[in-house]
Structure 1
Amino acid sequence: MSSIAICSPSSLAADSVITGTYFLYAATGRAVEHSEWAQRVIGLSVVMLCALLHGFFVRLAIRVQSALTVVKLLLLLLIVVVGVCAWAKGNGAPDAGFRDAFHGTSVHPSAYLSALFKVMFAYSGFNALNYSIDELKNPVRNLPRAALGGLLVTTVLYVASNAAYFLVLDPETVRRSSTAVAGVFFTNTLGNVWGQRIVPVLIGLATLGNVMCGVFAASRLIFEAAREGYLPGGRVLGEISRFQSPLAALAVNCLMTALFIVTPPAGEAYAFLIDIGVYPLWLFQGVAVIGLLVMRRTHRDLPRPFKAWHIANAVTIACAAFMLVVAFVKPSEDAAGTSGSIPYWAAPLTALAFIALSCGLWYIQIVYRRGLERSLYHGKHAGFG
């Protein structure tokens, strides 16, 4: 329920805002100082477009989603190639980017927390396939292959592209570029026409592809939760439309994402949206891994198609504990992260409030109203055709 109410819509809202940022960069040539509401209007339009495509044109939406994923992969490869070529020609800034690379690095834990929140957000899409297992062929075999394979490819491309940024841009330029660093990178290497006007539009489209994937996964999560009795209105939210899509679930996800786009304070929306979404995500991932380890001892005979590695379990629990605790530690004056009018404790406290409300909804729906016994899945199973 926390994923439905917080994690998914806040992540989609953040990606939608970034889509607006790149389209505005292509139009104005500025990486920052855009109209806050211009970004939000573009973000709202992106979410509505993705919901309409997945709701009424399912096959087309899947094709567009796949095509935009290819665009994103090609753009990441292009960043690496362009960065290496610029460095080889002597047009880069390797001395500024890599000499004394850790100079000025903060030792305050809140700075590392802020960085981890953003990094974990960037890689969080690896588990999206879990929400559509009902539509996946042979999930026991294909799910771990797709998740691990996709994560490996993403890791290599992300690390290589970040290295390419610092072959071309000095750290201060990267910092000033904020979320539009790729646009500044291409402007410096390819010029104003390709680098500022054309490629940033492609980056915006690639980010739109992220939103499309997120809308697809989030709507399936709402759909399945409603059918299993975890949400009220299961007869409506768990209904498959004549277009072979969960229209009601798509509408609910679109509405919640829109609320996350328009409600955060101006100027700080992106960082706040990431922080408020990642916090409950890691709370439950840490608890889930602990539960997994407990079940290994208490239910030794359960079938296990695949087994999580011990090192992965330990790292997950350690990261979760660090992020959950340090989120309430006051940052230093120069620490990166949410600042300005939003207190440092606002995001985790808001996330905990949502979690408490979700627990209340769970008690009402599952215990008081006996949602599991009354669900559409009780005694039968029906999925997508």
Structure 2
Amino acid sequence: MLVNIAYYAVVPLDVLSTSGTIVAANFFDIAFGGQSKRAISVFVALSALGNVMSVIFSQGRIIQQLGRENILPFSRFFASQRPFDTPMVGLLEHLIVCIVTVLAPPPGDAYNFIMNLISYPLNIVNLFVGIGLLYLNVQAMRGKLAWHPPIKATIPVSIYFTLASAYLVVAPYLAPDADQSVYKSLPYYLHCVVAIGIFAFGALYWLVWAVILPKLGGYYLYSHPKLDEVDGFWRTEIIQVKNGEAPPDAVNDFHIQTEDELISGKKSNSSGSDVV
């Protein structure tokens, strides 16, 4: 907040509204001169590069882990560590999505569309996170839930976070003034519709895969950890078991031995399996 106040105090409003450069560059240009403007532009670019690199790294790992959890179609393909012992497949998927997102919108609106498409789904997730935090707090206050995290979001903070997220979810659907439109040639609500469509597609995929097909096929999905013999990582294997039948004995007997069990040569009766 103080940074924004400093920007408004130093940079004239007409410069803020018409300048094609970042606000920080204008601030340093007015306050410290032209050399500082170029310097801060370099630092901002490096900061943006670091953010992009961290997002690329995390997204590749997320796709890989979703594959290891057997959630995605062709999960074993996405879970692979090959080549070079890296999540290359996840990075490739991220690259394809980025290329489509960059090339599909008209050139003038591509950047704004990408930024909004990144932030809007996050606001939806934050809204549900806030609702979940409120639920946990209320249940803990009623004594129905033993929830004692080391770092806890209090109820006022959770309420503020939830309301702010709800506003950011609803506000983009309100039509802006003609001269305040988010895009030049795209509908102002397009990123919202695309984001909702992505969530809906994921929900539909889960509904068909985990609910409708098992009911029609007369089976249920049974998950258990499995060591991949090629890449050497643990992944979740989901198998189809006919209704009324128990899972295979090989699955029931599965057990990940602890360090103490490996030393003593003993094996407990616990299992890592579960019904989806």
TM-score, normalised on structure 2? 0.67
* 270-279 or 227-236: bigger deviation: 270-279
Q: How many angstroms does 1:292 deviate by?
A: 4.2
Corresponding residue for 1:361?
205
Residue 206 in structure 1 maps to residue 47 in structure 2: yes
Q: Does structure 2 conserve the Cα–Cα contact (< 8 Å) formed by 1:366 and 1:372?
A: no
Q: Does structure 1 conserve the Cα–Cα contact (< 8 Å) formed by 2:24 and 2:40?
A: no
Rg: which structure is higher?
2
> After superposition, what is the alpha-carbon deviation per residue over 1:117-139, rounded to whole angstroms, capped at 9, x for unaligned?
xxxxxxxxxxxxxxxxxxxxxxx
Among 277, 290, 308, the alignment partner of 2:153 is 308
C-alpha separation between the residues in 2 aligned to 1:340 and 1:302? 48
Q: Percent identity?
A: 25
Among 277, 297, 301, the alignment partner of 2:118 is 277
Q: Does structure 1 conserve the Cα–Cα contact (< 8 Å) formed by 2:112 and 2:182?
A: yes
* 319-328 or 352-361: bigger deviation: 319-328
> After superposition, what is the alpha-carbon deviation per residue over 1:189-216, rounded to whole angstroms, capped at 9, x for unaligned?
45445533x5423321221111011111
Residue 342 in structure 1 maps to residue 180 in structure 2: no
Corresponding residue for 1:373?
223
Give the RMSD, CA atoms, in angstroms. Answer: 3.1
Structure 1: runs of 5 or more not aligned: 1-158
> After superposition, what is the alpha-carbon deviation per residue over 1:34-82, rounded to whole angstroms, capped at 9, x for unaligned?
xxxxxxxxxxxxxxxxxxxxxxxxxxxxxxxxxxxxxxxxxxxxxxxxx
Residue 236 in structure 1 maps to residue 77 in structure 2: yes
Equivalent pairs, count:
221
SS of alignment partner, residue 373 of structure 1: strand
Corresponding residue for 1:327?
172
C-alpha separation between the residues in 2 aligned to 1:190 and 1:171? 19
C-alpha separation between the residues in 1 aligned to 2:133 and 2:37? 48
Q: Which amino acid aligns with 2:164?
A: C
Q: How many angstroms does 1:246 deviate by?
A: 1.0
Q: Classify 1:281/1:194 alpha carbon distance in 2 versus 1 (closer, same or farther; 3 Å).
A: closer
C-alpha separation between the residues in 1 aligned to 2:255 and 2:157? 36
Q: Does structure 2 conserve the Cα–Cα contact (< 8 Å) formed by 1:186 and 1:199?
A: yes
Q: Classify 1:302/1:162 alpha carbon distance in 2 versus 1 (closer, same or farther; 3 Å).
A: closer
Q: Does structure 1 conserve the Cα–Cα contact (< 8 Å) formed by 2:78 and 2:90?
A: yes
Q: Which amino acid aligns with 1:355?
A: F
Q: Which amino acid aligns with 1:202?
A: F
Higher relative contact order (CA 8 A, sep 6+): 1
Q: Which amino acid aligns with 1:348?
A: C
Q: How many angstroms does 1:334 deviate by?
A: 4.8
Residue 162 in structure 1 maps to residue 7 in structure 2: no
Corresponding residue for 2:59?
218
Structure 2: runs of 5 or more not aligned: 215-219, 226-234, 238-253, 257-276
Q: Which amino acid aligns with 1:297?
A: Q
Identify, as 1 or 2, the structure richer in helix.
1
SS of alignment partner, residue 19 of structure 2: helix
Q: Which amino acid aligns with 1:169?
A: V
Q: Does structure 1 conserve the Cα–Cα contact (< 8 Å) formed by 2:130 and 2:162?
A: yes
Q: Classify 1:189/1:310 alpha carbon distance in 2 versus 1 (closer, same or farther; 3 Å).
A: same
C-alpha separation between the residues in 1 aligned to 2:209 and 2:147? 28
Q: Classify 1:340/1:302 alpha carbon distance in 2 versus 1 (closer, same or farther; 3 Å).
A: same
Residue 264 in structure 1 maps to residue 264 in structure 2: no
Q: How many angstroms does 1:231 deviate by?
A: 1.1
Q: Classify 1:365/1:374 alpha carbon distance in 2 versus 1 (closer, same or farther; 3 Å).
A: farther
SS of alignment partner, residue 308 of structure 1: coil
Q: Classify 1:305/1:185 alpha carbon distance in 2 versus 1 (closer, same or farther; 3 Å).
A: closer
* 257-266 or 362-371: bigger deviation: 362-371
TM-score, normalised on structure 1? 0.50
Q: Which amino acid aligns with 1:300?
A: L
> After superposition, what is the alpha-carbon deviation per residue over 1:67-121, rounded to whole angstroms, capped at 9, x for unaligned?
xxxxxxxxxxxxxxxxxxxxxxxxxxxxxxxxxxxxxxxxxxxxxxxxxxxxxxx
Q: How many angstroms does 1:252 deviate by?
A: 0.8
Q: Classify 1:371/1:176 alpha carbon distance in 2 versus 1 (closer, same or farther; 3 Å).
A: farther
Identify, as 1 or 2, the structure richer in strand.
2
Q: Which amino acid aligns with 2:167?
A: F
Q: Does structure 2 conserve the Cα–Cα contact (< 8 Å) formed by 1:227 and 1:238?
A: yes
Corresponding residue for 2:266?
none
Q: How many angstroms does 1:256 deviate by?
A: 0.9
Among 10, 17, 26, the alignment partner of 1:184 is 26
Q: Classify 1:203/1:310 alpha carbon distance in 2 versus 1 (closer, same or farther; 3 Å).
A: same
